[in-house]
């Protein structure tokens, strides 16, 4: 299993219910969801990755199941992993996706123009 397909289905459902246009792209050994050509959320194995406002990063990592993203071996401020224990309820998943969507307009795009 490269990534949790059930979690991917739940993430897609949240985006669709919110009426968000998104692109699903396989990358980093998992799947990423891009909104307006910017990485918004993703799934690596069983964990949700969320790109959130760096200003709320310290508070976010105190929440159930959340930890700093250390995909490359060093902490990436503004990116968090949420373990399955922090995503049991649909409302928990919606919370993290909404944080990522709230930051998305401020996020820098890595897409080459």
Q: What is the pLDDT of residues 52-105, one digit of tens each?
A: 999 999 999 999 999 999 867 788 889 999 999 999 999 999 999 999 999 999
Q: Does a structural domain hold residue 15? A: yes
Count up the domains in the chain and report the number.
Answer: 1
Residues 65-68: contacts with CB under 8 Å, at least 24 apart: 65/92, 66/96
Which residue, 85, 73, 80, is CA-closest to 53? 80
Q: Does a structural domain hold residue 34? A: yes
Domain membership of residue 60 as a residue range: 5-103
Domain containing residue 35: CATH number:
3.90.1150.30
Q: Does a structural domain hold residue 69? A: yes
Q: What are phi and psi of 74, to 5 degrees?
A: -135, 150
Which residue, 108, 96, 30, is CA-closest to 65? 96
Q: Does a structural domain hold residue 113? A: no
Stated pTM of the model: 0.92
Q: Does a structural domain hold residue 47? A: yes
Q: Does a structural domain hold residue 112? A: no
Q: Does a structural domain hold residue 42? A: yes
Confidence of residue 109 (pLDDT cuts 50, 70, 90): confident
Q: Does a structural domain hold residue 109? A: no
H-state helical runs in the chain:
5-18, 57-60, 90-103
CB contact at 8 A, 55 and 69: no
CB contact at 8 A, 95 and 81: no
CB contact at 8 A, 12 and 24: yes
Q: 3-class SS at 90?
A: helix
């Amino acid at each position: 299993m490269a990534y949790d397909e059930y979690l991917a289905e739940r993430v897609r459902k949240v985006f669709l219910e919110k009426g968000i246009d998104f692109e699903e792209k396989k990358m980093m050994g998992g799947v990423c969801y891009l909104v307006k050509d910017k990485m918004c959320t993703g799934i690596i194995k069983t964990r949700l990755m969320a790109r959130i406002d760096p200003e709320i990063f310290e508070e976010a990592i105190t929440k159930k199941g959340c930890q700093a993203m250390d995909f490359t071996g060093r902490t990436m401020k503004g990116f968090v992993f949420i373990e399955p224990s922090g995503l049991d309820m649909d409302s928990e998943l919606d919370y993290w996706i909404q944080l990522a969507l709230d930051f998305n307009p401020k996020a820098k795009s890595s897409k080459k123009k």
